[in-house]
Amino acid sequence: MYQVIVDISIPWLLSKGVYHMRSLNIISTEIGQVLSSSMIALIISMAMTSSHAVTDISKTYNDSCAACHDSGALNAIKKGDRNQWQRLIEQKGMPALIDSVKGGMIQMPAGGLCDSCSDDDYRKLIEYMSK
């Protein structure tokens, strides 16, 4: 049923007299119970964002974290050192660890060089480094 809406072409809509969203909603009602165009846009954007987010975390890691966490510079736990990361996560807990990243530490600037990261981004970065 959802495929019908996604595959509707502009010429088909014009042939049905659709010139604005209100007409589209009337036609979609005639087709049957379907998702509105805004729901379709939301679903498509979520799918695109989900795959884009994975790329963003690895890019954010490379841009903000790799300088220290790839080499272990300044005693940073290396990316992929599962035992060290798990021990740190268990000791501090994820919320406290995120707070430490945001506030900075002696050897790490506040935010870990990521000015645009949210708490969720920091969590994903920590999970990314711990694998």
> Is residue 12 scored above 50 in pLDDT?
no
Q: Is residue 43 part of a domain?
A: no
Q: Within a domain: residue 46?
A: no
DSSP state of 116: T
- Residue 41 maps to a domain: no
- Distance separating alpha carbons of residues 40 and 131, to the nearest angstrom: 34
Domain count of the fold of the chain: 2
Same-domain pairing of 79 and 113:
yes
56/115 same-domain check: yes
116 and 63 inside one domain: yes
Residues 80 and 16 in one domain: no
63 and 124 assigned to the same domain: yes
Residue 72 resides in a domain: yes
> Is the model's pLDDT at 37 over the cut of 90?
no
Stronger pLDDT, 6 or 118, i.e. the higher one: 118
Task: Say how far apart CA 64 and CA 131 lie, in whole Å.
Answer: 17
What pLDDT sits at residue 1? 44
pLDDT at 24: 43
**Full DSSP string of 61-108:** IIIIIHHHHTTTGGGPPPTT-HHHHHHHHHHH-HHHHHHHHHH-BTTB
Rounded (5°) CA angle 19-22-23:
50
DSSP 17-57: T--SHHHHHHHHHHH-S---HHHHHHHHHHHHHHHHHHHHH
Higher pLDDT, 4 or 124: 124
On whether residue 109 sits in a domain, the answer given is: yes
Domain membership of residue 44 (yes or no) is no
Q: What are phi and psi of 108, to 5 degrees?
A: -135, 130
Q: Are 6 and 61 in a shared domain? A: no
The whole domain housing 59 covers: 51-129
Q: For residue range 73-94, what is the model confidence (pLDDT) as tens digits?
A: 999 999 999 999 999 999 999 9
Check whether residue 30 and residue 90 sit in a common domain: no
